[in-house]
Amino acid sequence: MSSDSNRKFHEKQMEFFGAVTASVSHEINNVFAITNENSGLMSDLLKNAKRDKPIDPKRFLHINETLGKQLEREKHIVKRLNRFSHNVDTPLKEIDLNELITNLCDISQRFAYRKKVKLSLSLKRSPIVIESSPFTLQEMVFACIIAFLSEAQPGDSITVKVCKDSDRAVILLYGPKIKSEELFAMLQPMTDELAAKTQAESDGAKILLFLPRSIGA
Amino acid sequence: MPNEKVLLIDDEKEFAEVLAERMEARGLKITTADSGPKAIQCVADENFDAIVLNLFMPGMDGIETLKQLLQKNPDLQIILLVGRATIKKGVEAIKLGAMDFIEKPAEFEKLMELINKAAAKKMLLVEKNMEEKMSAILKQKGW
């Protein structure tokens, strides 16, 4: 890779990392906002409570339930972010593709939600273990999801499927028709690094990503 | 500010509900909408003294909603709720005609102050419009 394309490759990686962390931080911020208002509501109720008009315990129970729900939501968001961040720990490692793509799809849900698009995932029951670069792999699949989202209309669906053929793992993405040549040109540095192959079917409404069991294989 | 009418637009229903409850306890009359198109419908049906609009929403985002609301009624007093990283967008919203913006999670009392300011501005605009109409009628009739 030339120094110029190397720089562009790293810029793209940073772009991906930035897009994901910005999206997750917005989600966290929404949880803060709900928690903040519920805490304010409790203060309001306490301040306004009078001897002849005590606080209804059911009201506080409801606030407590809301706070509990938000805490659970926060735990899931942070867990996703934590898993995602640890992908850069090792450039190459053994990964369960089901787990990795599930986390990526969870992270991508907010991008789909903003466009009112349904993003669903279909997995094989048994783990699909390959040796690859988790960060670049997620970057590549995310780029495909974003390409589909850019062509999607509210109400459209995108499906990500993980399976395997004889000696390779396969990630299939279905969605609205996209210009697959442009996408594949953009994916080139990633497919090179992952020793992956790409294929488009159904006029760009189906994208296939073939991954070797091991990058060195 | 008793019974000022406020439209609260946010796709996070739990956030909108609890904020509405707190505002209603202070004497405001709150209507909520969870999307841009619903907010536009609310504005077509009713008059509001202030509008609180979340910038990040699915489908029609805050900026597009702001544009369409102001197109319908340029006198609307709109306060945007923005994230820390989107303050730039808040500035863009002011240029487009929003009254002000505040970071989400917002400090409740500050938000109430902004709503108060918006309602006062709206009142001045209504009075000004009324004066202009009266003066046009007087001129027309030659009194």
Q: Which of A57, A8, A66 is nearest to A39 (CA)?
A: A66
Spell out the per-residue pLDDT of chain B, length 143, in tens.
568 999 999 999 999 999 999 999 999 999 999 999 999 999 999 999 999 999 989 999 999 999 999 999 999 999 999 986 677 888 889 999 999 999 999 999 999 999 999 999 988 888 888 888 888 888 887 66
Chain B residues with CB under 8 Å of A50 CB are none
Interface of chain B against chain A, CB under 8 Å? 12, 14-15, 18-19, 21-22, 25, 56-59, 61, 83-85, 104-106, 108
Task: Evaluate whether A204 touches A154 at the Cβ level (below 8 Å).
Answer: no
C-beta pairs of A150-155 under 8 Å, 24+ apart in sequence:
A150/A178, A151/A175, A151/A176, A151/A177, A151/A178, A152/A115, A152/A117, A152/A176, A154/A115, A154/A116, A154/A117, A154/B59, A155/A116, A155/A117, A155/A118
Mutating which of A25, A32, A36 best tests the B interface, going by the most B Cβ atoms within 10 A?
A36
Chain B residues with CB under 8 Å of A37 CB are 15, 18-19, 22, 105, 108
Question: How close is the nearest chain B Cα to the Cα of A34, in Å?
Answer: 5
Q: Which of A131, A120, A121, A122 is nearest to A96 (CA)?
A: A131
Chain B residues with CB under 8 Å of A116 CB are 58-59
A21 touches chain B (CB under 8 A): no
The CA-CA-CA angle for residues A176, A150, B86, to 5°, reads 150
Predicted complex ipTM: 0.85
Average pLDDT over residues A24-53: 91
A41 touches chain B (CB under 8 A): yes
Q: What is the value of pTM for the model shown?
A: 0.86
Burial environment of residue A145 by CB neighbours within 10 A (0 to 12, 13 to 18, 19 or more): buried
Nearest by CB: B14 against A26, A34, A113: A34
